[in-house]
Homo-oligomer: A and B are copies of this chain.
């Protein structure tokens, strides 16, 4: 029997899609897990219970294919996010000012009360959003939390995203800001932090800084980093449909990253930094949750850092899906997460490194 050429092509494409979706898995037999009911845990704060009880992100399987489509979606989301920022700034006594560094758009996000020992320190923030979301000031939410809860001055990078820029535009912009900061700050007094795509960018910045022979900052805080965008990582499976933010490895976030990558190899450590060489990295604190789709891709980075001899601290929060430690500045868990990062920065910034 002759198989029509088109059918072969379709089947081959389908096989390839499956292979891509499955990531780097063993050929050993998989486990079958029955359907289950997940109660909202009672051992977290009432604020966090509400966040955990939220229905799954209704846009989890929106898979736009162009930068223009993503930007339109991002703008809609940004308008909503912007409405929440003034109250957060007010509660945390933080002010925000737009500006540029080396031609890159930034927001300076400062606590109204910066203690003496933080006045020579600068934190650089790279926001998350799968490399396509949270343009402009809408990306400053985590910077407000860090500035307000930690009493720091933060520069939040409003890096280029599709369709304005594709890989490596976000990384290039973040590096420009880092290089500018090095002109006025001692590297040991600089920390770099961010969550999700921002967590990946933090790691990518360290890899790029090594390539460029730049000094390392005093500390980094990559939160639940998108460290592997090749769909590899066990919690892509175990926490699928459990994480109510990202929901699935075949969801919006990986689709957005493909658009940002613009044909570039997704396994390049500058897109999947878990594959990078982490020797010589600064001390790092990583934060994730037990329901996080990227729990594996956080703990894999933690193990790689430890194996490279890096002082790396891991924080895993009960019941939280992706990045929920930054969803509500009033939740005790948010204060705990940024309290840990502040304590870590206080321990490691300002010291001469013996690396």
Contacts and interface: CB of A to CB of B under 8 A. Distances in A.
Interface of A: 22-26, 28-43, 49-50, 52-53, 56, 232-235, 237-242, 244, 290-291, 295-296, 299-300, 302-303, 306-307, 313-319, 336, 340
Q: Quickly give the copy total for this chain.
A: 2
A185 B43 CA distance: 39
A250 to B, nearest CB: 12
A102 to B, nearest CB: 37
27 contacts: A26-B42, A26-B52, A26-B53, A28-B52, A29-B40, A31-B40, A34-B241, A37-B237, A38-B237, A41-B233, A41-B296, A43-B234, A234-B291, A234-B318, A234-B319, A238-B239, A238-B291, A290-B299, A295-B316, A296-B319, A302-B316, A303-B336, A306-B340, A307-B336, A313-B313, A314-B315, A316-B316
A290 B236 CA distance: 11
Contacts of A42: 23-26, 232
A30 B40 contact: yes
A353 B300 CA distance: 32
A2 to B, nearest CB: 34
A252 B38 CA distance: 21
A342 to B, nearest CB: 13
Contacts of A303: 315, 317-318, 336
Judged by DSSP, the binding face of A is: mixed
Most B CB contacts (10 A, CB to CB) among A35, A36, A314, A340 go to: A36
Most B CB contacts (10 A, CB to CB) among A50, A244, A316, A336 go to: A316
B43 A232 contact: yes
A239 to B, nearest CB: 7
Nearest to A291: B238
A289 to B, nearest CB: 9
A49 B30 CA distance: 11
